[in-house]
Structure 1
Amino acid sequence: MIETIYFAGGCFWGVEGYFQRIPGVVKTEVGYANGETENPTYEEVCYRNTGHSEAVKVDYDEDKILLIELLNKYYQIIDPYSLNKQGNDIGTQYRTGIYTSNDTQMKIAKNFLNKKQQKTDRKIQIEVKPIKNFCRAEEYHQNYLEKNPNGYCHINLNEANQYSKSHLTPIQYEVTQNNGTELPNTGKYNDFDNPGLYVDIVSGEPLFLSTDKFQSNCGWPAFSKPVEKLNEKIDTSAGMIRTEVRSRKADSHLGHVFNDGPGGSTRYCINSAALKFIPYDQLEKEGYGKYKKILASNF
């Protein structure tokens, strides 16, 4: 079941980049929350005292991650005792806040912070309120760090990887986080041809359709193309020059891409350990319904 909660923790670029890396989070959107006006612009929020905070709308799959887990992760990336300041950013728009969509979330969030407050004499400055007047921010703010990998970020995004480590097997972690490679002909998807969608084992980001998978006899799963463009970088390890491919949201190492596919086409050589397979008949339930229609049209 997909639920929605809103987190304010300073500049929303970093907060969004962080939650995009958490398995179980299915969608994020940055915007302005809990101010006094509707549909404010960035300039109005910054300079005209609208009362909004920079916040991130987080849609999460309750079957994959519980709200209490998200709250714990949120608490790790902010300074809970700082009022109207996070990192180098100062102002009421940079205050910390948890904005809930229903009474159950409100009860869980308040109980969570009450327990945190009982353990310290310092006052926790995180406000907990029902969501009000949320407005999607301008397009250039959406997925900012994905568009600008070297852009400003006050959050250590590696914190998300620590969450990943506890949810991955040793080989999955070695491949996705340490650029490792599984031994040839050992991956579970090497000789696998069931219909469905392959997603990033870390973030659930859609990567490859089964209809684009082919047998290359290279020892690893091979695909002719990804669902969407992947991040690429030059890899000079192993005494050769190759093109590495990484997922866009979680920055997971996936494998490499070559130009030796059928008829000189591309061959995405991917580690099984970097992938999770969603069967065709489970796509709707798992939140990947649009890919079911695409697959059906290719059968």
Structure 2
Amino acid sequence: MDKRYLLTGLIAVLGVITLVWWRTSHSGLTAQNIESRVEAALAANATSSSSTSSKEEVKAENLKTLYLAGGCFWGLEAYFEQIDGVLDVESGYANGTSDITNYTLIGQTDHAETVKITYDASKLDVRQLLLYYFRVVDPLSLNKQGNDEGRQYRTGIYYESQEDKAVAQAVMKEKAEELGQELKVELEPLKNYVKAEEEHQDYLTKHPNGYCHIDLKKAQDPLIDVSLYPKPSDQELKEKLSPAQYAVTQENNTEQAFSNQYWDNKEPGIYVDVATGEPLFSSKDKYDSGCGWPSFTKPISADVARYKEDTSFNMRRIEVRSRSGNSHLGHVFDDGPKDKGGLRYCINSASITFIPKDQMESKGYGYLLPYVE
């Protein structure tokens, strides 16, 4: 009798192990396709941040301009028009060999399709504009963006002051280091700018189903500047983190289910990287998955998460790590709520710190309040 019970128990355990293996080994997620799934999930519940100010309402000293080339200007214009602090976006042609050109002549005059961005410097700065810019361009592609190919579709940052040049150089250096390659983005003083024909202004407003090579919804994803959340040294982390936090974030350990700090937390607020303070998740996207760990349908921004194939324990999973701290956070699975993108971020409480909604402003996270319920 005892042997039969033992055999039955063993079969049950093997069944559970097999089920876990099957679900993790047959998941459609990969480190390569996860980002498109995340973008879809973010777009499903996007929070608009478009500006309501006009140039007439802004002090003259705060009216600034920046010129950016990033492929077809129809999409780039529509993208930047959605960003809070941007007052006006104009399509044009920049940095060619002549001060006279048009849509049919730019191949001869070597102009780049460019957008002139007028913005309120009290709400937005050049660095932030460039971080938005690098979200939607391929900086490693020479003379080609999306389906458009040719010199007129090159990427470029065209500045009017040495201060703006210095900011652009710093951002480009960070991006090149992140990608491990030299960027193909021009950085030049503005010259020979020509406003494009009226038919090209607000093109996607006039033609909502018109061609666009970028994902316009990325403008609604909150901008989280990685430079604000630097990673401490290993010695500093050992002093700052508890043994359990260090083991999880730096040594890829996993805490116990149902006995961790945040698995059943229902308060409104955000969850940040315990190592760096970088925002990672919002309570708006937290739900009870029944797994015993904090579960989310998506990160607060696609920018803050990194993904890695994980084959430990003879399972095939997608590990989630933080951007700035490179902290081990947990794993992402494709068995989440279908109406919210179908993803389940299973996160260790030891890898995150909860910031209650009523403390976000005082702790420097007030800019993310619109993304918390």
Report the TM-score, using the length of structure 1 for normalisation. Answer: 0.53
Residues 1:71 and 1:41: Cα distance change in structure 2 (over 3 Å): same
Aligned twin of 2:193: 134
* Pick aligned residue for 2:90 from 12, 29, 40: 29
Which of these residues, 110, 117, 123, is aligned with residue 64 of structure 1? 123
Please say if 1:85 is aligned against 2:144.
Answer: yes
Report matched runs for 1:88-107 at 5 Å: 88-107=147-166
1:116 CA drift (Å): 1.7
In structure 1, what is the equivalent of residue 64 of structure 2? 3
Amino acid at match of 1:92: R
Q: CA 1:71–1:164 in 2, change beyond 3 Å: closer, same or farther?
A: closer
Q: Output the amino acid matched with 1:128.
A: L
Higher helix share: 2
User: 1:242: which partner in 2?
Assistant: none
Measured against aligned partners, the alpha-carbon deviations of 1:169-197 in whole angstroms (never above 9, x if no partner) come to 99xxxxxxxxxxxxxxxxxxxxxxxxxxx
Following TM superposition, by how much is the alpha carbon of 1:6 offset from its aligned partner in structure 2, in angstroms? 0.4
CA–CA separation in structure 1 for the residues paired with 2:89 and 2:152: 19
State the AA in 1 paired with 2:121: E
Distance 1:165 1:103, change over 3 A: closer
1:55 aligns with 2:114: yes
> For 2:117, what is the secondary structure of its paired residue?
strand
Per-residue deviation, residues 187-241 of structure 1 (Å, max 9, x unmatched):
xxxxxxxxxxxxxxxxxxxxxxxxxxxxxxxxxxxxxxxxxxxxxxxxxxxxxxx
- Matches for 1:252-263 after TM superposition, within 5 Å: none
Choose 1 or 2 for highest CA Rg: 2
CA distance in 2: counterparts of 1:143 and 1:165, whole angstroms: 28
Partners of 1:21 and 1:120 in 2: CA distance? 27
> In structure 2, what is the equivalent of residue 157 of structure 1?
216
1:41 matched to which residue of 2?
102
- How many residue pairs get aligned? The number is 167
Deviation at 1:119, TM superposition (A): 2.8
Q: Distance in 2 between matches of 1:106 and 1:164?
A: 21
Q: CA deviation at 1:38?
A: 1.1
> Following the alignment from structure 1 to structure 2, what is the Cα–Cα distance between the partners of residues 96 and 160?
19
Partners of 2:175 and 2:201 lie apart in 1 by 31
* Structure (1 or 2) with the greater strand fraction: 1
Distance apart, 1:53 and its partner CA: 0.1
Deviation of the 1:165 alpha carbon: 11
Partner residue of 1:287? Answer: none
Which amino acid in 2 is paired with 1:4? T
RMSD across aligned C-alpha pairs, in angstroms? 2.1
1:117 Cα deviation from its structure 2 partner: 1.5
Contact 1:22–1:164, Cα closer than 8 Å, also in 2: no
- Does the 8 A contact of 1:53 with 1:95 survive in 2? yes
User: How far apart are the structure 1 equivalents of 2:204 and 2:179?
Assistant: 34
The one-letter code matched in structure 1 to 2:138 is: D
Pairing 1:13–2:84 present:
no
Give, as a single letter, the amino acid of the residue that structure 1 aligns with 2:133.
Answer: Y
- Which residue of structure 1 lines up, in the alignment, with residue 348 of structure 2? none
Query: Could you report, residue by residue, the CA deviation over 1:95-123 in whole angstroms, capped at 9, with x for unpaired residues?
Result: 00000111110110011101222233322
* Structure 2 counterpart SS, 1:118: helix
CA distance in 1, matches of 2:115, 2:102: 16
Query: Partner of 2:109: helix, strand, or coil?
Result: coil
Are the equivalent residues in 2 in contact too, given 1:30–1:55 (CA < 8 A)? yes
State how far apart, in whole Å, the 1-side matches of 2:155 and 2:129 are.
15
**1:75 match:** 134
Is the CA contact 1:81–1:124 (under 8 Å) kept in the aligned structure 2?
A: yes
Question: Does the 8 Å CA contact 2:132/2:223 hold for their aligned counterparts?
Answer: no
Q: Write out per-residue CA displacement over residues 118-162 of structure 1, whole angstroms, 9 at most, x where no aligned residue.
A: 233322101111110000000000000011110000010000111
- In structure 1, distance between residues paired with 2:214 and 2:81: 13
Q: Percent identity?
A: 44
